[in-house]
Amino acid sequence: MKNCNLVDKNDDVCEVFDSHEDVVNRIKGRIPDEDEFSQLSDFFKIFGNPTRLKIISLLCLEDLCVCDICEALDLNQTTVSNQLRILRANNIVKYQKEGKMARYSLTDLHIEMIYKVGLEHILE
């Protein structure tokens, strides 16, 4: 392993650029390809809207119909429906018809985990 000495404790850049070939070779084959990075980037963009995050936060608690989401967030049905459509198109939420009602839920536990880990991180 080649030396990568920091100039001082406040400097976050190596004094001399000299990569560690063994490390680089070991990790290169383990990183996602460009298409996977692109898909992942698009996935995280979905979480970049406060209204969508609020809807996800409610659905982490329980399955809800559109009316309940509107009331809980004090938003109109058009706004909620538009955001649910985006979440559904990106496989974040799903719905099940119950008579005349559509009850929304998260597609799987991964979505809840992503939301909760993100929240935990900002609350540290």
pLDDT tens-digit map of 12-45: 777 777 788 988 989 998 999 999 999 999 999 9
* pLDDT of amino acid 62: 98
Q: What pTM did the predictor assign?
A: 0.81
Domains, the chain, in order of start with CATH, read 21-123 (1.10.10.10)
* SS3 letters across the chain: CCCCCECCCCCCCECCCCCCHHHHHHHHCCCCCHHHHHHHHHHHHHCCCHHHHHHHHHHHHCCEEHHHHHHHHCCCHHHHHHHHHHHHHCCCEEEEEECCEEEEEECCHHHHHHHHHHHHHHHC
For residue 2, pLDDT over 60 is answered with: no
Contact between 107 and 60 under an 8 Å Cβ cutoff? The reply is no
Nearest C-alpha neighbor of 98 from the set 65, 59, 61:
65
Task: Output the six-digit token pair for 100.
Answer: 């005349």
